[in-house]
Chain A
């Protein structure tokens, strides 16, 4: 069984680790590129949202590389993502591929089906082995998330732009090779030291939050590397979403996840009184939260035709007006150009700087 899975930011690091621990041969699809996008959008339904197209592109590239089994997350709605697997399977079948799909639906009360799927992936290993493999994968992701959070602060202040990104990339690959908890602890320590020794300017940067649909937020190829571009403009970024948050909310029920859910509900209540699937409620809630935390602005990222985010997008102008909190919504699809995104980001940052100057006087 040669296993593959779709890309979403650093997700591959955790999944690859866990699957290799279980003794699978893992084929990580090439990083999403122009080619992935072209392959994917050629064969996807025209109005499907961008993540589906990139996913499909990843699968096609992985199949070229010899994969025969695809692991995919599912869902029970109402976001379209939950039905991706079923549609993608059908598309690949119609294209003549003979491929096995293992689709993980979030447990949400259907534990038996979930455990069944888990055993299939488990490769005959006992359940505790599967969990320990998963936990090891998640641990690596947690470290990466932690380092990235620190990286955001440093990127805004670093003298030689790009240094932090370089360290993070390097660490990512070191973590990929690591095979014990001791090793990853050492890598974390080293990376931290390296990050803290980056030469920094003494400035008080603008603080901008990034929120929106998780795939677009996490995948730099899709969002035109918004985080780093903002970093280059000396802006400190904070993301509302990290990959481990998603894992904790959907795969492993945790107090942290529940608490976060309640917070989101409370914060978005005055504007959006019900969950709308995907990350729609989060986007509205994060505007309220970051406005309270005195951030200077927020960038809201979404794929074209994304249903939950369209709802958020329709509501955000009101939140922005009420709280006097600038929000920039960027919509991404296969035709998005980097120059357009950059121009809008620059204009947004200019606006935030002006606002700050006016406030001071």
Chain B
């Protein structure tokens, strides 16, 4: 039985967990290749004009997988991952939007995860998925445990400074990675949703560009959750989106503790939550002695030369300030 996981949106948060779980209950997991022009085009053609870029890319991956004869598409409805917050509204409606926009889809695995409700806990979702794929309960439970463990391994690898791609390689290809050291005089925090920051195509390989310029990069996933939680409390009101709260917490931590020389905030065009938190981040940076911060807005028309120039200028400015 082949289950396709589109390489977009929450893929970067949970892929190792999903893969281990699905394989544990006897499914074969297929992912789409890294985002490319072809995949983006598939996405922009099939999705609605007004959805944000990450969702368009997700659509591209979904269409790609649907054409690869998978038996199921794995698009869970992740409503809430903590008691006091939701995820983005787009995730709440994602399976429905996919189902009602695209034609000729294989059946979806769209179990709901909502930790605010006892009957929608991750374990219940796992059992539902297992049942859908016809696995015995004992096997589902052991696969679930293993998957959770794997999730923490993945998170720990990212804490150590590996990007999701690298961490996934280490976990599943058992390849060792040497962290590049030396010769890096400035540090930049790259803050944003993982599906924006780590996807090389829409960001035009921002992380690679920074590496080439001799910059040490810190991302939100490399910061301990305690620090993030602690600094997110400086918000005037508790933010009710989990992933965005992490972004704000991470950025506040870097700003307050002066952990980096500057911050690049990567947001996508038409992202609802980002539109508000970017304002909060900029305001916070201004209030902390004009902490250097650059906002890069991504859309499907982002041009390489423009981005390169802005990144270089930002890095030059940070070097001068030193």
Q: Show the binding face of A for B, using Cβ within 8 Å.
A: 45-49, 74-80, 82-83, 85-87, 89-91, 94, 103, 271-278, 280, 304-308, 310-311, 313-315, 317-319, 331
Measured between beta carbons, the chain A residues less than 8 angstroms from B235 are 86
Pick the residue among B93, B241, B280 that contacts A272 (CB under 8 A).
B93
Q: Evaluate contact between A272 and B278: CB separation under 8 angstroms.
A: no
Q: Evaluate contact between A305 and B270: CB separation under 8 angstroms.
A: yes
Q: In the complex, A91→B284 CA distance in Å?
A: 11
A255 to chain B, nearest CB (A): 23
Q: Evaluate contact between A307 and B272: CB separation under 8 angstroms.
A: yes
Given A79-B89, A280-B89, A307-B88: A49 and B272 interface contact (C-beta under 8 Å) = yes
Given A77-B241, A89-B236, A272-B93: A47 and B275 interface contact (C-beta under 8 Å) = yes
Given A79-B89, A280-B89, A310-B51: A271 and B100 interface contact (C-beta under 8 Å) = yes
Measured between beta carbons, the chain B residues less than 8 angstroms from A276 are 89, 92-93
Chain B 44-56 interface 0/1 with A at a Cβ cutoff of 8 Å (1 = within): 0001101100000
Q: In the complex, A276→B272 CA distance in Å?
A: 13
Pick the residue among B48, B92, B286 that contacts A277 (CB under 8 A).
B92
A-B contact count (CB 8 A): 121
Enumerate the 4 nearest inter-chain pairs by beta-carbon distance, A residue then B residue, closest first.
A77-B240, A47-B275, A311-B93, A78-B86
Pick the residue among A306, A307, A315, A317 that contacts B96 (CB under 8 A).
A315
Q: Evaluate contact between B278 and A274: CB separation under 8 angstroms.
A: no
| B41 close to A (CB within 8 Å) | no
Q: Evaluate contact between A311 and B97: CB separation under 8 angstroms.
A: yes
Q: Evaluate contact between A77 and B272: CB separation under 8 angstroms.
A: no
Measured between beta carbons, the chain B residues less than 8 angstroms from A314 are 47-48, 51, 97, 100-101
Pick the residue among A78, A94, A274, A275 that contacts B240 (CB under 8 A).
A78
B287 to chain A, nearest CB (A): 8
Q: In the complex, A76→B245 CA distance in Å?
A: 13
Measured between beta carbons, the chain A residues less than 8 angstroms from B101 are 314-315, 317-318
Chain B 258-293 interface 0/1 with A at a Cβ cutoff of 8 Å (1 = within): 000000000001111111101110010010000000
Q: Can you sample 17 A-B contacts with CB below 8 Å?
A: A47-B269, A47-B271, A48-B279, A74-B237, A77-B85, A80-B272, A80-B276, A86-B236, A87-B280, A271-B96, A273-B95, A274-B77, A307-B89, A310-B48, A315-B101, A318-B100, A318-B101
| B239 close to A (CB within 8 Å) | yes
A47 to chain B, nearest CB (A): 4
Q: Evaluate contact between A273 and B237: CB separation under 8 angstroms.
A: no
Q: Evaluate contact between B96 and A308: CB separation under 8 angstroms.
A: no
Other CB < 8 Å A-B pairs besides A78-B241, A308-B89, 20 of them? A47-B269, A47-B274, A74-B237, A76-B240, A78-B86, A79-B89, A80-B273, A85-B237, A89-B236, A90-B280, A276-B89, A277-B89, A277-B92, A280-B93, A305-B275, A306-B272, A314-B47, A315-B101, A318-B100, A318-B101
Measured between beta carbons, the chain B residues less than 8 angstroms from A75 are 240
Measured between beta carbons, the chain A residues less than 8 angstroms from B77 are 273-274
Cβ-closest chain B residue relative to A103: B237
Chain B 136-153 interface 0/1 with A at a Cβ cutoff of 8 Å (1 = within): 000000000000000000
Q: Within residues 3 to 48 of chain B, which ones have a CB less than 8 A from any CB in chain A?
A: 47-48
